[in-house]
């Protein structure tokens, strides 16, 4: 199945493990309502609609193999320049472009270093 971009996902923001917050990369976690079974697991540049206001973001779609034991597919989005509580709020995430495949890292520290690189590239992509 060929994926046409942009692709919009939506769902309610759920509580996660809050690991991203420990390295200053908080994310909004949703289990998308859309069927994403044909979507490649990995990192995407994205836009996020929160109450009608659009923010730039970077989204991982997949199972988070470095930090999670179950195989539930979710979407986890870092939202640039957003501060506030999104728990239990419905958001729309528009995936713009695939950046890289999801990977299992040897440690959370290695994952967080890659996340920081992804965020830098996301800022450049969005500028």
Quickly state the pLDDT bin for 38 (edges 50, 70, 90). Answer: confident
| C-alpha–C-alpha distance, residues 30 and 109, integer Å | 23
Task: Tell which wins on pLDDT, 42 or 34.
Answer: 42
> pTM score > 0.85 for this model?
yes
The domains located in the chain, with CATH, are 7-114 (2.40.30.30)
Does position 105 have pLDDT exceeding 60, yes or no? yes
| C-alpha–C-alpha distance, residues 10 and 48, integer Å | 10
Question: Buried b / exposed e across 1-28, counting CB within 10 Å, b at 16+?
Answer: eeeeeebebebebeebeebbeeeebbbb
pLDDT at position 96 is 96
Task: Tell which wins on pLDDT, 50 or 18.
Answer: 50
% of the chain with per-residue pLDDT over 90: 70
Which tens digits make up the pLDDT trace of 52-83? Answer: 999 999 999 999 889 877 778 889 999 999 99
pLDDT at position 37 is 77
């Amino acid at each position: 199945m060929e994926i046409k971009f942009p692709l919009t996902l939506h769902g309610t923001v759920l509580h996660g493990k809050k690991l991203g917050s420990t390295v200053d990369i908080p994310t909004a976690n949703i289990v998308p309502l859309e069927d994403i079974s044909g979507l490649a697991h990995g990192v995407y540049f994205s836009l996020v609609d929160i109450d009608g206001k659009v923010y730039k973001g970077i989204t991982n779609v997949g199972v988070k193999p470095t930090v999670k034991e179950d195989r539930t597919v979710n979407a986890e989005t870092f939202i640039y320049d957003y501060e506030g509580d999104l728990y239990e709020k419905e958001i729309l995430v528009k995936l713009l472009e695939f950046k890289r495949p999801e990977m299992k890292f040897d440690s959370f520290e290695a994952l967080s270093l890659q996340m920081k690189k992804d965020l830098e590239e996301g800022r450049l992509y969005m500028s």
